[in-house]
């Protein structure tokens, strides 16, 4: 029995990456409950990969649903939608082609801020940037992933006593590749701006920034080697062949309720207990032990161009709603000022949908008032396969929002 399992897992581990030839990404907008049920029933008998919302559980009348379907079922789905007057469009006609086109930077080897870097490249980059800027950047390991990989954190700022801190993490969901790209960009900007840009220098003199470039290191690695569309962690679940937990359903924020499931095969599986994952536990432990200094928590995802704040697990407003709303508005205005990118903003539960176990809600309830989730570019033209040629603009505009929030923290926390 064990031999069979071991042989099977070795075969899986050495398998060629999943390909997506002919796979289509649909955007359907259910107009009534029957339409919602139609999409849910489709999802129950064929593999639909939900891009937005995160799962068929979160479908709502009038709200767009983006999902990937295999080429073998795509035409049947179109026929069914036409037959039922369900409005839809095809956002991506061939995902394999879009995936190959997203790697459109000519530089392919080594590290670049304008390409998607593999995990080992990000590891090496984080060691180098700390070594080259010892007065501004230091690297520590805050934990180890399920598969044994280090989870590194960079502390960015001029050493000083009693400094408040802003915590920024990237790479919760493996396939959201532009997210780790932003964390790398942020550190580069800090290093390049210190001493030359008055605003950023002031921020670095008076605040520390904890930057976690990739939280879900196993998932990120897997999204490069095996399945570009992987989302969850890579932990092994009991009594099932389905792997992984959704790290952003795995925190103690009304855990295991709205918009999450206890089914390990779901993309929004909440895990066995809050912080069941090595990765979320490492993050939770670090923040709990530095709670006196961390005044802001920013978690970076993609896609949909949104800036969200608590709560996502309930409709009731957070007690700091007014301040968070005006801060979000200011941050989004700053972001949009550069390239006109349109963002929506507000509390997660009202702005998108109710979901529980998110790290932003957990951080807020733990005592970090300025808690935000960024959903970076785009709004679905490319979705998770945003071309590398958009990394620069995405990061530049996001920097403006992060700096806006950081200035507010500096002046108010």
Question: Which residues have a catalytic role annotated?
Answer: 375
d(CA 153, CA 210) in angstroms, rounded, equals 7
Q: Indicate the residue among 115 and 173 with the shorter CB distance to Zn ion.
A: 173
Q: Are 348 and 358 in contact (CB under 8 A)?
A: yes
Alpha-carbon span 198 to 210, nearest angstrom: 20
Phi, psi of 304 (to 5 degrees): 135, 0
Phi, psi of 178 (to 5 degrees): -70, -20
Q: How far is the CB of 409 from Zn ion (least distance, A)?
A: 23
Name the residue whose CB lies closest to Zn ion: 301
With respect to Zn ion, which residue has the nearer C-beta, 208 or 279?
279
Q: Give, as one character, the DSSP assignment of residue 327.
A: H
Q: For residue 232, state whether it binds Zn ion (rule: CB under 5 A).
A: no
Binding pattern for the stretch 289-308 against Zn ion, x by CB under 5 A and - elsewhere: ------------x-------
User: Which neighbouring-strand residues pair with 144?
Assistant: 150
| CA proximity to 370, closest of 338, 339, 399, 401 | 401
Is residue 173 involved in binding Zn ion (CB under 5 A)?
Answer: yes
Is 314 a binder of Zn ion (CB under 5 A)? Answer: no
Rounded to whole angstroms, how far apart are CA atoms 22 and 9? 28
Query: Measured from the CB of residue 371, what is the shortest distance to Zn ion in angstroms?
Result: 15
Q: What tokens were used for 214?
A: 């990739």
CB of 179 to Zn ion, least distance (A): 7
Q: Is 408 among the residues that bind Zn ion (CB under 5 A)?
A: no
Ranges within 175-194 binding Zn ion (CB under 5 A)? none
Tokens in use for 333? 């205005």
Q: Would you say how long the chain is, in residues?
A: 413
Alpha carbon distance 10, 198 (integer Å): 54
- State which residue, 173 or 228, has the beta carbon closest to Zn ion: 173
Per-residue string for binding with Zn ion, 133-172, x by CB under 5 A? ----------------------------------------
When the beta carbons of 26 and 374 are compared against Zn ion, the nearer one is: 374
User: By the criterion CB under 5 A, which residues form the site for Zn ion?
Assistant: 173, 301
């Amino acid at each position: 029995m064990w031999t069979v399992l071991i042989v099977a897992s070795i075969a899986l581990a050495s398998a060629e990456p999943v390909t997506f030839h002919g796979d289509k990404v649909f955007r359907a907008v259910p107009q009534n409950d029957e339409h919602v049920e139609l999409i849910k029933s489709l999802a129950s008998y064929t593999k639909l990969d939900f891009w937005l919302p995160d799962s068929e559980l979160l479908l709502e009348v009038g709200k767009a649903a983006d999902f990937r379907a295999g080429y073998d079922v795509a035409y049947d789905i179109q026929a069914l939608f036409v037959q039922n007057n369900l409005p839809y469009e095809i956002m991506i006609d061939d995902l394999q082609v879009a995936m190959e086109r997203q790697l459109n930077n000519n530089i392919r080897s080594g590290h670049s801020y304008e390409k998607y870097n593999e995990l080992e490249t990000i590891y090496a980059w984080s060691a180098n940037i700390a070594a080259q800027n010892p007065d501004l950047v230091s690297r520590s390991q805050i934990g180890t992933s399920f598969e044994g990989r280090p989870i590194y954190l960079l502390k960015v700022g001029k050493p000083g006593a009693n400094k408040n801190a802003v915590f920024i993490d990237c790479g919760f969901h493996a396939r959201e590749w532009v997210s780790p790209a932003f964390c790398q960009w942020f550190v580069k900007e800090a290093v390049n701006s210190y001493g030359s840009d008055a605003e950023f220098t002031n921020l670095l003199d008076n605040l520390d920034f904890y930057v976690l470039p990739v939280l879900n290191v196993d998932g990120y690695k897997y999204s490069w080697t095996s399945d570009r569309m992987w989302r969850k962690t890579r932990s092994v679940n009991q009594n099932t062949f389905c792997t992984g937990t959704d790290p952003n359903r795995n925190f103690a924020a009304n855990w295991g309720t709205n918009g999450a499931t206890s089914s390990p095969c779901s993309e929004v599986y909440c895990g066995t207990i809050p912080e069941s994952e090595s990765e979320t536990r490492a993050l939770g432990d670090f923040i709990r032990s530095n709670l006196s200094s961390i005044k802001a928590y920013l978690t970076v995802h993609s896609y949909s161009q949104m800036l969200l704040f608590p709560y996502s697990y309930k409709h009731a407003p957070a007690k700091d709603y007014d301040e968070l709303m005006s801060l979000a508005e200011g941050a989004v205005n700053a972001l949009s000022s550069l390239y006109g990118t349109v963002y929506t903003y507000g509390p997660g539960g009202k702005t998108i949908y109710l979901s529980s176990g998110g790290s932003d809600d957990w951080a807020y309830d733990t005592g970090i008032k300025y808690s935000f989730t960024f959903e970076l570019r785009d709004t679905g033209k490319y979705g998770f396969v945003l071309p590398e040629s958009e990394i620069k603009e995405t990061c530049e505009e996001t920097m403006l929002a992060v700096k806006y929030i950081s200035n507010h923290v500096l002046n108010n926390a």
